[in-house]
């Protein structure tokens, strides 16, 4: 059920990365349900089309397939989208890759893969947003983070480092873009029941998974929980919120 007005984002355009599944898909659906137009970013054109058919006002939404690998290419891609489809009112950067691997086995290739779509792409988005004729004054940028960026967990050194980097970027970028009234925030999610979550817990065993769920005071989350937070941060309801990380984690961090 949509907790927001069906017209609160009408007339606005938002780029959503990772829109083919999980958190990106859920947020794209909610933006559309609130009247916004969505530029659907992701690697797989067919899966992006599967997302678009779920959106309210299907015809107005745009498929924008692209593989997020580095800052330079990402910046050019975002600028190209703004040139073709008009200035953006906001960006929700959800794309990312999980990695559970002991640090002794973590090589440069693993770091590259983990940082590409998360940190490097986020910086490319930031660079594009920092230039003229890409976003509207007063736009909102929301980058996806994780509780891993603030908590210690064995086997997640690379992933945790990537998410901590995203949150550092958010704080500095919020200061730099404040003169243009552009807000920048992050969402640090706990365990959300998505395909990524299923991959991470598949081999953990029932007892370990139950213990992990108990570590979240409110249990595992749903993709819609993050989507609600993202739309709050993208909308005018958060017009005085910038440079912060919103924890949407069912109480994981306080436990």
> Domains in the chain: how many in total?
1
Which residues on neighbouring strands pair with residue 179, listed in sequence order?
none
Facing residues of 184 across strands?
141
Tell me, yes or no, whether 182 lies in a domain.
Answer: yes
CB burial string 122-147: b at 16+ within 10 A, e below = bbbbbbbbeeeebbbeebbbbbbbbb
Asked whether residue 3 is assigned to any structural domain, the reply reads no
CATH of the domain at 21: 3.40.50.720
Domain membership flag for residue 131: yes
Examine residue 50 and state whether it is found in any structural domain, yes or no: yes
Domain-embedded: residue 192: yes
Residue 5 lies in a domain: no
Tell me: pLDDT of 200 over 80: no
- The range of the structural domain enclosing residue 78 comes to 13-248
Report the C-alpha gap between 49 and 44 in whole angstroms. 9
β-pairing verdict for 183-189 and 13-17: unpaired
pLDDT tens, residue by residue, 25-75: 999 999 999 999 999 999 999 999 999 999 999 999 999 999 999 999 999
For the chain, give the mean pLDDT.
Answer: 93
pLDDT in tens, 93-115: 999 887 778 899 999 999 999 99
Q: Confirm whether 2 is domain-assigned.
A: no
Tell whether the model's pLDDT for residue 5 goes beyond 90.
yes
Q: What is the pLDDT of residue 255?
A: 83
pTM (predicted TM-score) = 0.94
Phi, psi of 210 (to 5 degrees): -65, -40
- What is residue 246's predicted lDDT score, i.e. its pLDDT? 98
145 near 188, Cβ under 8 Å? yes
Active site residues: 159
Q: What is residue 109's predicted lDDT score, i.e. its pLDDT?
A: 94
Q: pLDDT tens, 122-168?
A: 999 999 999 999 999 999 999 999 998 988 788 889 999 999 999 99
Rounded percentage of the chain residues whose pLDDT exceeds 90? 83
Q: Is residue 238 part of a domain?
A: yes
Please give the helix or strand (H or E) that residue 38 lies within, else none. Answer: strand 37-42
């Amino acid at each position: 059920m949509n907790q927001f007005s069906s017209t609160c984002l009408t007339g606005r355009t938002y780029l959503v990365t990772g829109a083919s599944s999980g958190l990106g898909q859920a947020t794209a659906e909610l933006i559309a349900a609130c009247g916004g137009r969505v530029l659907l970013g992701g690697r797989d054109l067919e899966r992006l089309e599967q997302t678009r058919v779920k959106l309210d006002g299907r015809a107005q939404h745009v498929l924008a397939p692209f593989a997020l690998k580095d800052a330079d290419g990402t910046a050019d891609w975002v600028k190209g989208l703004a040139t073709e489809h008009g200035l953006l009112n906001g960006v929700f950067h959800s794309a990312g890759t999980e990695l559970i691997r002991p640090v002794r086995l973590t090589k440069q290739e693993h770091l590259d893969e983990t940082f590409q779509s998360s940190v490097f792409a986020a910086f490319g988005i930031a660079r594009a947003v920092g230039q003229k004729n890409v976003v509207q004054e007063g736009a909102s940028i929301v980058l996806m983070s994780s509780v891993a960026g603030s908590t210690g967990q064995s086997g997640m050194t690379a992933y945790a480092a990537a998410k901590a980097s995203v949150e550092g970027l958010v704080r500095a970028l919020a200061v730099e873009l404040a003169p243009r009234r552009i807000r920048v925030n992050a969402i640090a999610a706990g365990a959300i029941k998505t395909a990524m979550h299923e991959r991470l817990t598949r081999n953990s065993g029932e007892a370990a998974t139950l213990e992990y769920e108990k570590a979240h005071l409110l249990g595992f989350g749903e993709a819609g929980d993050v989507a609600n937070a993202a739309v709050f941060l993208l909308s005018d309801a958060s017009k005085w919120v910038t440079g912060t990380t919103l924890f949407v984690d069912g109480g994981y961090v306080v436990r």
